[in-house]
Amino acid sequence: MDATAQAASVQRLSFVRQPDSWLVRLFDYKPFLVAICMLPTAGLLLVFLTYPLGLGIWLAFTDATIGNPGEFVGLDNFISLWDDPVFWLSVFNTFVYTFVTTIIKFALGLWLALLLNHHIPFKAFIRAIVLLPFIVPTVLSAIAWWWIFSPQFSIVSYVLVDRLGWLDHYINFLGTPWAARWSLIVANVWRGIPFIAITLLAGLQTIPPSLYEAALLDGASGWQRFRRITVPLLMPILSVVLTLSVLFTFTDFQLVYAITRGGPFNSTHLMATLAFQRAIPGSQLGEGAAIAVAMIPFLVAATLVTYFGLGRRKWQQGEAND
């Protein structure tokens, strides 16, 4: 009996859990796990975002040129920009370009999303076609629009002059300042509508159909259903899409530079294209960086407006914020 009891005691002791090592306890510590999981992302952001941003801000306060690191000059670059009419023209163009295209894209994108939200024939095929302008590479679509706006080879002018006979001369879309600006707005709207339409369509499909059925039984009109149900429930998504659209449009570079390169006579330069022209072809890295840094306050303001707007959770109930 003693031997049996001793063996049982040894067996019980063998199942006693040994204390965890410091490494096991470390990996069981939640903040450490969170830090380890975020480390790769933080490293990528540090290398590809934080460092270029910090370097750009530093260059804005120097007189650096290509091949010359330059010296610290304080606010001299910003002071010179204050008296630069081309810079202020680019600021005006950027705000007009962003404001007009955002309004048109949202109006047409919301209308298209509402249309695609209904049961229509070949709905899946139509959705795929709608995405094509957004899928095509920006430079490729810009070249296509440059050909459409060409004073010699424009398909629009060819139809209006040679086929329909409505005009007696080809239209010079890119030859005058306002014609070039409106041409760029048309190209940006064409490219931006699919993103807004598909995103809003995804939001529309999350709205329960029972709400519309109940409103219809109560005698609500189409406009009342749109105003009281669709808009409040779609508002958080509208805010996110609005922010992204403003940021993408405000910082647009490829489309504008590929079509006009800021011409004619610098009349279509945005802040992004002017910063590139001054920094790379013009070799004035400090001045180009200063123009780019001048964009940051506007972008931060747009982001903060949306951030605080998204905090209004009672939008979904159509109520006021606390």
Domain ranges of the chain: 82-317
Q: What is the average per-residue pLDDT within 233-245?
A: 85
DSSP states of 184-246: HHHHHHHHHHHHHHHHHHHHHTTS-HHHHHHHHHTT--HHHHIIIIIHHHHHHHHHHHHHHHH
Q: What is the average per-residue pLDDT within 239-259?
A: 89
Q: What percent of the chain is predicted at pLDDT more than 70? A: 89
Q: Which residues contact 319 (CB under 8 A, 6 or more apart)?
A: none
Instruction: At 245, give phi and psi (nearest 5°).
Output: -65, -45
Higher pLDDT, 185 or 43: 185
Higher pLDDT, 77 or 235: 77
* DSSP summary character for residue 119: -
pLDDT for position 315? 46
Is the predicted pLDDT of residue 57 greater than 80, yes or no? yes
pLDDT digits (tens, 9 = 90+) for 82-127: 999 999 999 999 999 999 999 999 999 999 998 888 877 777 788 7
Sequence-distant contacts of 290-294: CB under 8 A, at least 24 apart: 290/60, 290/61, 290/77, 290/78, 290/81, 291/81, 291/87, 291/90, 292/56, 292/60, 293/56, 293/57, 293/60, 294/78, 294/81
pTM: 0.82
pLDDT digits (tens, 9 = 90+) for 116-127: 888 777 777 887
Q: Domain 82-317 classified CATH 3.30.390.10?
A: no
Instruction: At 165, give phi and psi (nearest 5°).
Output: 70, 20
Nearest residue to 207 (alpha-carbon basis) of 182, 233, 187, 246: 233
Q: Which amino acid is at 247?
A: L
Residue 212 and residue 219: Cα distance in Å, rounded? Answer: 11
* pLDDT grade for 318, boundaries at 50, 70 and 90: very low
pLDDT for position 129? 83
> Partners of 65 in the beta sheet?
68
Asked whether the beta carbons of 141 and 133 are under 8 A apart, the reply is yes
Residue 171 and residue 160: Cα distance in Å, rounded? Answer: 9
Highest mean pLDDT among 6-15, 111-120, 298-307, 312-321: 111-120
